[in-house]
Amino acid sequence: MDIAQRVAVVTGGASGIGRSLSLALAGQGAAAVVVADVDAGGAAEVAAAIEAAGHRAMAVPADVTSPAEVEALVARAEAAFGRIDLFCSNAGIIVDGGVDLPDQAWSRSWAVNVQSHVYAARAVLPGMLARGEGYLVLTASAAGLLTQLSSAPYAVTKHAAVALAEWLSITHGDQGIRVSCLCPQAVRTNLIATSSREAGMPVRDSQAAPQASVDGVLTPEQVAACVLDGIAGERFLILPHPEVATYEQRRAADRERWLSGMRRLQARLRGQP
């Protein structure tokens, strides 16, 4: 897809990858960028920055875990700009722990990391299908292709996000709908602060741990550039850390060996001999 003169919506757009992606889309010549976030003030600041640079933008406060608010977001964008060509469903959180985490942590992770993508697709697909074209970008994680040692909810929900993106591509790819799934490793964002707020519990910086940062910690601007390149090439998997493709291949080729290696890595990270 050529971004020029396309109307784009970015959720989680107030900060991190979403902020950089919103700015990059505008800089690429998008007809308009709708910046959506539960952080209304942050979304307004990003939209104002886009407008100050001479581009069209609109900020919409939205809790993407609410289907009604996602439907309202889509309705406002379509009313303002006529259509939505590109929807970047980007919100996400992480909490540390395993199956013993309280139900609240699991439920909130599922709501933000999976259901928000479901609500976005449900709301935006009818218009796209009626026009015979549209683009969905779902932000998952390398954890959705591999795993997240420090967080069972993150690993589980990000795998689900990848599965949903695959299903959408398979089901609607022949109807003019393009789908990309963004799967970065460590990115320098405020994910921890956002996750602590959304999950209602302290969160350790898992994304900066050795597992996540072994291939380098990228800036949100670098990730946004990768997303634009992936959209231009209409690639399903967008891998800002290209090493993830090799890891996924190793995992598929010999699952037992991969599991054994991940257990050894986990032991080292825990300081075990």
Q: Which residues are catalytic?
A: 154
Alpha-carbon span 35 to 92, nearest angstrom? 15
Query: Of 119, 141, 135, 184, whose CA–CA distance to 30 is shortest?
Result: 135
Burial class (CB in 10 A: 0-12, 13-18, 19+), 178: buried
Q: Give the span between the Cα atoms of 253 and 208, in whole angstroms.
A: 28
* Separation CA 88–CA 137 (nearest Å): 5
Count of beta carbons in the 10 Å neighbourhood of residue 216: 11
Beta bridge mates, 189:
none
Residue 100 to residues 96, 133, 263, Cα–Cα distance (Å) = 11, 43, 19
How far apart, in whole angstroms, are the C-alpha atoms of residue 153 and residue 94? 8
User: 103 Cβ partners below 8 Å, 6+ apart?
Assistant: none
| DSSP one-letter code for 206 | G
Give me the helices (H) in 1-140, please: 16-27, 40-52, 67-81, 103-110, 116-131
CB of 175 closer than 8 Å to CB of 128:
no
